[in-house]
Amino acid sequence: MSHLVLDGLTKRFGSFTAVEAMDLSVERGEFVSLLGPSGCGKTTTLQMIAGFVPVDSGTIRLDGSDLGPVAPNRRGLGIVFQSYALFPHMTVAENIAFGLEMRDVPRAERDARTRAAMELVGLKGFADRYPRRMSGGQQQRVALARALVIRPALLLLDEPLSNLDAKLREEMQGELRQIQRSVGTTTILVTHDQHEAMALSDRIVLMNQGRIEQIGAPDAVYDRPASAFVASFLGKTNVLRGTADGRGAVAIGDLVLALAGAGSGPVQLAVRPERLVLAEQGLGARITSRVFQGTHWLLGAESAAGPVMLMRANDGLPVPKEGEAVHLRFAPADAALLPGGVSA
């Protein structure tokens, strides 16, 4: 039996449907990200699990029991808010101990667990500091310690790293992942940042307009997007127009590939820029732009199948200039067939 099960979860605000019939199962100890653009329903889902937003229909089950009738202060979930929501009038230690106090944990144990939590997040020696006098990264750690110290059944993270600068964010990602692994708490992360979702999660739940577009491991979702939306939202992608002949071959310009399940008629293929390579022959294209990015060049080109982007490693070999005619190729395994008729 799964640890957390969302079954047909639905929320409407007036005529706007924020979350529609959402089904999701999360295993014990798993790290799952809800990823999507703003307004996709990911935060509303989190708020429903937390109990701050009432559910219209559907159920939320934790270890088989329905959370619906349980008041938000009796759910025992750990939450890290986007703004951290630290209590500004309490010290770090008081902030962290608050949840234990609410549970009437005896003084000695409370102090010990608070100390342990501060050590876990690397805040030893900050006990008497007030949140206002700490950096964003430190506040973030306090919020995490405060949520973890109550040994929550579930850890909910609402865009926890979005207020940090890029370098600190990367650092905290690693640390967050390592802490989650060591305590083994089932974790749901809400984020609009694909890199964060891919770096942290066991599985990604991609959401759009209140619906789940795709669920899967980060590399699986990245490599085999189930829809044009997923392909364009996760990383950069090329959508190429081609024609299937009904016998398992697809023509994209001059390039002909064997693709099972392509059917017949016009098709759309998603190909990542890093999987498109320059070749002697194949899809004809003309280079339109050239941007140097350190480890690689990002090339823009106009091809017979539409505009494309490709990456060219900075390996010391010559790079085609703007206006140069080139040929492009990719392996059939690197192309994901998009459901017909959808244009990206």
Q: Which residues of this protein are in contact with other proteins, per CB under 8 A?
A: 50-52, 54, 71-79, 81-83, 85-89, 98-99, 102-103, 146-147, 150
Q: Give 52 or 292: the residue with its C-beta nearer to other proteins.
A: 52
- H-assigned helices in the chain: 42-50, 92-102, 107-120, 136-148, 166-183, 194-200, 218-223, 228-233
- Min dist CB 32 to other proteins, Å, is 19
d(CA 172, CA 211): 29
Neighbours of 165 (CB within 10 A): 9
Q: Give 50 or 234: the residue with its C-beta nearer to other proteins.
A: 50
Contacts with 88 (C-beta within 8 Å, 6 or more apart), sequence order: 130, 131, 132
The three-class DSSP label of residue 123 is coil
| C-alpha torsion sign, points 70, 75, 79, 83 | positive
Q: Give 183 or 298: the residue with its C-beta nearer to other proteins.
A: 183
Residue 189 and residue 34 in contact, taking contact as beta carbons nearer than 8 Å: yes
- Min dist CB 162 to other proteins, Å, is 14
Q: Give 87 or 292: the residue with its C-beta nearer to other proteins.
A: 87
- Min dist CB 57 to other proteins, Å, is 13
- Min dist CB 88 to other proteins, Å, is 7
**Do strands 78-80 and 238-245 pair parallel, antiparallel, or not at all (unpaired)?**
unpaired
- Min dist CB 193 to other proteins, Å, is 19
Q: Give 89 or 236: the residue with its C-beta nearer to other proteins.
A: 89
List 303's β-bridge partners, or say none: 285, 306
d(CA 216, CA 203): 5
Please give the helix or strand (H or E) that residue 213 lies within, else none: strand 211-216
Q: Give 77 or 231: the residue with its C-beta nearer to other proteins.
A: 77
- Min dist CB 81 to other proteins, Å, is 5
